[in-house]
C-alpha cells in the first residue's frame, strides 16, 4: 500500500543495519501483540531491502470500532532512486464480519500527512487469507489505490508448512499511473516463523517503469 514516496536523505548503511536489527528484535519478542496477530517481514534482495508490518485490532472485545495500521520501508542499493517510506493508520468500524470502513491518515516524507478513507474486505480461513483494500486520499487532487493479497498455507503438518503469498497494489492520480507492485513469497513456515524466496516487481510513474528485486524473506507473526 504505497505511492511514490521518495526520501533522498534516506537511511545509510548503518540505517539498513538498524532496520535489520529492529526486525530481529521483533522476531525474538514473545508471540502476540495485546492478543492480536502482527505479521512482520524483512526481505533482502539483489537490488534493495524491504520491510513491512501490519496490525489490526478491536478497541474492545465487543466493540464495532477498531484500529488498523501498516508501514513499509524500501531501501534501494542505488542511491539515485531514494528510499521509500509509507505509514497508514485508521480507526475502523465493522459493517459485517468481512467488511469494514476506515478513516485515518497516510504519511510519507514527500507528502507528509494526508487524510485517507478506506474499505477493507477480509476473509480468514484456517489455511487461507484474502484481503481487498481500496483507499483514497481526502485531498483536492486525490490518489486512488487498490491493494490486495492472497495468502495460503498447507495443512496437516506438525512441522514445516508450505507458505505462499501474492500481494499486489496499484495507485493512480487519474488519469496518470503513480505506483504499482506485485510481490510473491514462496517458502515454509513453522510456529509463526516463515522464510523462503521473494520476488518484488515495482513500477513507477506514467510509463510504469519496472524495477525487479529477487531475494529471500524472513517473516514472523507476533
> What integer pLDDT is reported at residue 44 of this predicted model?
97
Q: Has residue 77 been placed in a domain?
A: yes
Q: Has residue 129 been placed in a domain?
A: yes
DSSP string, 117-165: EEEEEEEE-SSEEEEEEEEEE-SSS--EEEEEEEEEE--S-SS-EEEEE
Highest mean pLDDT among 16-25, 108-117, 178-187: 178-187
Q: Has residue 76 been placed in a domain?
A: yes
Q: What is the mean pLDDT of residues 2-21?
A: 44
Q: What is the mean pLDDT of residues 84-113?
A: 91
Total domains in the fold of the chain: 1
Q: pTM for the full model?
A: 0.83
Q: Has residue 47 been placed in a domain?
A: yes
Q: Which domain holds residue 95?
A: 6-221
Q: Has residue 191 been placed in a domain?
A: yes
Q: Has residue 1 been placed in a domain?
A: no
- Residue 176: count of CB within 10 angstroms of its CB: 9
Q: Indicate the pLDDT class of residue 36, thresholds 50, 70 and 90.
A: low
CATH number, position 17: 2.40.160
Q: Has residue 126 been placed in a domain?
A: yes
Q: Is 18 helix (H, G, I), strand (E, B) or coil?
A: helix
Q: Has residue 68 been placed in a domain?
A: yes
Distance, CA of 51 to chain centre: 8
> What are the pLDDT digits (tens) for 69-94?
999 999 999 888 888 999 999 999 99
Amino acid at each position: 500500500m504505497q505511492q511514490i514516496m521518495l526520501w533522498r536523505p534516506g537511511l545509510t548503511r548503518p540505517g539498513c543495519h538498524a532496520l535489520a536489527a529492529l526486525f530481529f528484535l521483533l522476531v525474538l519478542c514473545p508471540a502476540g501483540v495485546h492478543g492480536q496477530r502482527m505479521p512482520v517481514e524483512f526481505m533482502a534482495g539483489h537490488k534493495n531491502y524491504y520491510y513491512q508490518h501490519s496490525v489490526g485490532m478491536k478497541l474492545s472485545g465487543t466493540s464495532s470500532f477498531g484500529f488498523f495500521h501498516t508501514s513499509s520501508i524500501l531501501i534501494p542499493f542505488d542511491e539515485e532512486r531514494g528510499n521509500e517510506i509509507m505509514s497508514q493508520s485508521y480507526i475502523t468500524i465493522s459493517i459485517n464480519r468481512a467488511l469494514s470502513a476506515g478513516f485515518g491518515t497516510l504519511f510519507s516524507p514527500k507528502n507528509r500527512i494526508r487524510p485517507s478513507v478506506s474499505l477493507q474486505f477480509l476473509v480468514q480461513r484456517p489455511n487461507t487469507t484474502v484481503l481487498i483494500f481500496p483507499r483514497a486520499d481526502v485531498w483536492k487532487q486525490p490518489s486512488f489505490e487498490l491493494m490486495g493479497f492472497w495468502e495460503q498455507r498447507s495443512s496437516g503438518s506438525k512441522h514445516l508448512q508450505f507458505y505462499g503469498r501474492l500481494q499486489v497494489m496499484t495507485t493512480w492520480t487519474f488519469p496518470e499511473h503513480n505506483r504499482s507492485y506485485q510481490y510473491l513469497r514462496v517458502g515454509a513456515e513453522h510456529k509463526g516463523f516463515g522464510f523462503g524466496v521473494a520476488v518484488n516487481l515495482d513500477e513507477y510513474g506514467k510509463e510504469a517503469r519496472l524495477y525487479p528485486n529477487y531475494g529471500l524473506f524472513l517473516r514472523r507473526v507476533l
